[in-house]
Amino acid sequence: MSTLECPHCHATNRRPVCGRCKTVLSEPLEVKLAWYVSRYRKPASAAVLLAAGGLILWLLGLAADEPHNFVECQEKAARTARSNAAMQVLLSACSSRFR
């Protein structure tokens, strides 16, 4: 059984109403999405949802691999460069992107 944390008093609950402060708790986004998919599913749409989910996960993986600051960009350039010329090109790309 899943538990929900109350955003007001931070109590852990197993019901949609907080036992401590009586606040109505909303379901997490994952649960809402699962209910939506199960309610409106069709045989053809399952494949589309699976492909869309795979695409979203792939895009999130690409975004996680990107450097977020100049130092991370320099470190990634040092790891991926195969020659000094390539290193200079990657470092110039880092400096133009973050400075």
Domain map of the chain by residue range? 67-99
Spatial separation of the C-alpha atoms in residues 69 and 67, rounded to whole Å: 6
- Give the global pTM: 0.36
User: Could you report how far apart the first and last alpha carbons of the chain are, in Å?
Assistant: 49
Structure tokens at 25: 């708790």
Question: For every one of its 99 residues, what pLDDT tens digit does the chain have, with 9 covering 90 and above?
Answer: 578 888 888 888 888 888 899 888 877 777 788 788 777 766 656 677 777 778 887 777 766 667 778 888 888 888 888 888 888 888 888 888 877
